[in-house]
Structure 1
């Protein structure tokens, strides 16, 4: 994953305020320690351990990014998805949600993305990758562990008309732009795309800007949803 954002993404604040939500104190302590050590631009502003506490903390602290476990006690049994859905229903909520879970089950990924989270990474992620994912989400982009991005396909139906429309839209892209588009939509960083396609990071950035422009999209998050809805992942 990478902190690099598309040209259309908003500038990141000097300090990104992060709320940790997990029902295991040791996990919260570990994430706090890792991010504090490796990402001084990320400020941990609070913690919560259940649905009710998380909703209250989001309202009170108004963090930039909520690092959210998907399996949480309390509430109506909806876990992290319930927290995201409830908070995002409030019109003035400034927070964005990134799921951080030990689970890599498709149903968990789909549930939290349906609820409005902008990404989903597993706890096998490194501290640097996690920090980059937080920065990406704070900037309005999507962030997925690469193999999980395809699960968002299950959250979006598509019919023959949508497939035809996708074909027309894809015609606007060159073959290389299509390759870059699919990898970016799956959650690959610019550096990972560059390594996969044997091109420079600068060339990847140029292709991403062209893809977003041609498809009239504003961010990687929108690109992921666009590709998923058309079964292009």
Structure 2
């Protein structure tokens, strides 16, 4: 499977370096380079890449807002472009903001080329990737800050319409193939939606997502 990738970073030397590393991989095709968040969103909408490798601090709109716009594509609820956020900063707000915005992965820029390629493949195939140096506290933070309503029930306010629909169907469709059949999409699309659900809700696995659907009132017993 050839993965189509866009790289977005406002520093030319970093952007070119990332492009060079990824272009050396036989299963990765570079389809665009963006200098800021606005360009990244436009390229994602035009090229429909499998993955956008996204810097956080950029002029115009930053990488977190660009991620939110790409993953909340209003024209196509099944747009499956995954975002891998890369940054030199591991501040909690940056980590939390990126994942809440819908990023499928987060990694630090000092990672080796082989690790970068592995992360791109993981999110491009519908999985998730969190840099091992920050993973424990990211998951803890997401769980601790999951929004609840006045009754203590978890709310789904940060989920897209399609993500809510996928979550609603998970109780009656335990496998990706069954979910795909019910929603008339591909299994890779389902994998990407589930990856985003796991990231946004701080859930460990599918079982926790199903439990969330019941606890939030989205699904009735």
Structure 2's unaligned 5+ residue stretches are 154-173, 177-190, 209-221
Equivalent residue for 1:227, pick from 197, 204, 207: 204
How many pairs are equivalent?
Answer: 158
* 1:155-206 Cα deviation digits (max 9, x unpaired): 33369x99xxxxxxxxxxxxxxxxxxxxxxxxxxxxxxxxxxxxxxxxxxxx
8 Å Cα contact 1:45/1:61 also seen in 2: yes
Aligned-pair CA distance for 1:223: 5.9
Are residue 101 (structure 1) and residue 87 (structure 2) matched? yes
8 Å Cα contact 1:110/1:152 also seen in 2: no
Equivalent residue for 1:90, pick from 73, 82, 97: 73
Distance change >3 Å, CA 43–CA 30, structure 1 → 2: same
* 1:73-112 Cα deviation digits (max 9, x unpaired): 103xxx1110011122214233110001111111111001
Distance change >3 Å, CA 227–CA 217, structure 1 → 2: farther
Structure 1's unaligned 5+ residue stretches are 1-13, 163-215
Matches within 5 A, 1:97-176: 97-150=83-136, 151-156=138-143, 157=145
Moved over 4 A (4+): 216-220
Name the structure 2 match of 1:73: 59
State the secondary structure of the residue aligned to 1:141.
coil
**2:139 & 2:52 partners in 1: Cα distance?**
20
Instruction: Name the one with the larger helix percent.
Output: 1
**1:110 & 1:223 partners in 2: Cα distance?**
13
| TM-score normalised by the chain length of structure 2 | 0.64
Distance change >3 Å, CA 227–CA 94, structure 1 → 2: closer
- Higher relative contact order structure (alpha carbons within 8 Å, sequence separation ≥ 6): 1
8 Å Cα contact 1:85/1:116 also seen in 2: yes
Aligned-pair CA distance for 1:43: 0.6
